[in-house]
Amino acid sequence: MSAVIMSFALTYAQIALALAACLAGYRLLYGPRAQDRVLGLDTFYATAMLLFVVTGIRVGSPFFFEAAMVIGVLAFVATVSLAKFLIRGEVIE
Amino acid sequence: MSRIFPHPLLTLALTLLWLLLTSFSLGHLILGFAVATVASRALSAIEPDRVPIRAVWPLVKLFFIVGGDIIRSNLAVAWLILTRGRHGKRRSGFVEIPLRLRAPAPLALLAIIITATPGTAWIEYDAETGVLLLHVFDMIETDDWVTLIGTRYENLLMEAFVG
Amino acid sequence: MSYLDTLPPWIAIPVAFFLILGSTLTLLGAFGLARLRDFYDRLHAPTLGTSWGAAGILLASMILMSWNESEPGWSGLRPVLHELVIGIFLMITTPVTLMLLGRAALHRDRIEGTPGIPGAVERADVPHRPTGEEADGEAAPEIDISDAPGEN
**Same domain as B62, residue B41:** no
> Is C31 part of a structural domain of the chain?
yes
Is the pTM of the predicted complex or chain greater than 0.95? no
**Same domain as B95, residue B39:** no
> Is B132 part of a structural domain of the chain?
yes
Mutate to test the interface with C, among A1, A28, A35 (most CBs of C within 10 A): A35
Chain C residues near residue B124 by CB distance under 8 angstroms: 102-103, 106, 121
CB contact under 8 A, C57 and A16: no
What pLDDT, on the 0 to 100 scale, is given for residue C116? 67
> Is B2 part of a structural domain of the chain?
no
- C89-111 per-position pLDDT tens digit: 888 888 888 888 888 888 887 77
**Same domain as B147, residue B119:** yes
Chain B residues near residue C106 by CB distance under 8 angstroms: 123-124, 133
Domain residues for the domain of B153 are: 57-160
Q: How many CB atoms lie within 10 A of CB A52?
A: 22
B11 Ramachandran zone, left/alpha/beta (phi>0; psi -120 to 50): alpha
> Is B72 part of a structural domain of the chain?
yes
Q: Is B123 on the interface with C (CB under 8 A)?
A: yes
CB of C111 closer than 8 Å to CB of A86: no
Residue A10 CB partners (closer than 8 Å, separation 6+): A54, A57, A58, C19
As for how many domains chain C has, the answer is 1
What pLDDT, on the 0 to 100 scale, is given for residue A17? 92
User: Which amino acid is present at A10?
Assistant: L
Q: Exposure of C91 by Cβ count < 10 A (0-12 exposed, 13-18 middle, 19+ buried)?
A: middle
Chain A residues near residue C138 by CB distance under 8 angstroms: 34
pLDDT at C39 over 60: yes
**Same domain as B93, residue B29:** no
Which of C28, C150, C152 faces B78 most closely, judged by CB atoms? Answer: C28
Chain B residues near residue C97 by CB distance under 8 angstroms: none
> Is C143 part of a structural domain of the chain?
no
Distance in angstroms (rounded) separating the CA atoms of residues B27 and B35: 12
Q: Is C52 on the interface with B (CB under 8 A)?
A: yes
> Is B1 part of a structural domain of the chain?
no
Q: Exposure of A88 by Cβ count < 10 A (0-12 exposed, 13-18 middle, 19+ buried)?
A: middle
> Is B117 part of a structural domain of the chain?
yes
The percent of residues in chain A predicted with pLDDT above 70, rounded, is 95
Q: Is C123 on the interface with B (CB under 8 A)?
A: yes
Provide the shortest C-alpha distance from residue C67 to chain B (in Å).
16
Distance in angstroms (rounded) separating the CA atoms of residues B95 and B106: 20
- C68-84 per-position pLDDT tens digit: 777 776 666 777 778 88
Distance in angstroms (rounded) separating the CA atoms of residues A41 and B107: 27
Show the low-confidence residues of chain A (pLDDT under 50): none
* A19-to-A12, A15, B106, C22, C150 alpha-carbon distances in Å: 11, 6, 37, 14, 29
- B30-51 per-position pLDDT tens digit: 888 898 888 888 888 887 677 7
Which of C7, C58, C107 faces A53 most closely, judged by CB atoms? Answer: C58
> Is B25 part of a structural domain of the chain?
yes
Show the low-confidence residues of chain B (pLDDT under 50): none
As for how many domains chain B has, the answer is 2
**Same domain as B143, residue B76:** yes
> Can you list the domains of chain A with their CATH numbers?
2-88 (1.10.287.3510)
> Is C146 part of a structural domain of the chain?
no
CA B60 to chain centre: 12
Q: Is C79 on the interface with B (CB under 8 A)?
A: no
> Is B78 part of a structural domain of the chain?
yes
3-state secondary structure of C86: helix
Domain residues for the domain of C23 are: 7-116+126-138
Provide the shortest C-alpha distance from residue A23 to chain C (in Å).
6
Across chain C, what does the average pLDDT equal?
73
Sheet containing B93-98: which strands, arranged edge to edge? B93-98, B131-136, B120-126
**Same domain as B147, residue B98:** yes
**Same domain as B149, residue B78:** yes
Residues A64-75, buried b or exposed e (16+ Cβ, 10 A)? bbeebbebbeeb
> Is C74 part of a structural domain of the chain?
yes
On the CB side of C94, CA atoms within 13 Å amount to 28
CB contact under 8 A, A80 and C100: yes
> Is B3 part of a structural domain of the chain?
no
Provide the shortest C-alpha distance from residue B70 to chain C (in Å).
8
CB pairs under 8 A between B and C: 106
- C107-149 per-position pLDDT tens digit: 887 777 766 676 644 444 444 443 333 344 444 443 444 444 4
Chain C residues near residue B90 by CB distance under 8 angstroms: 152
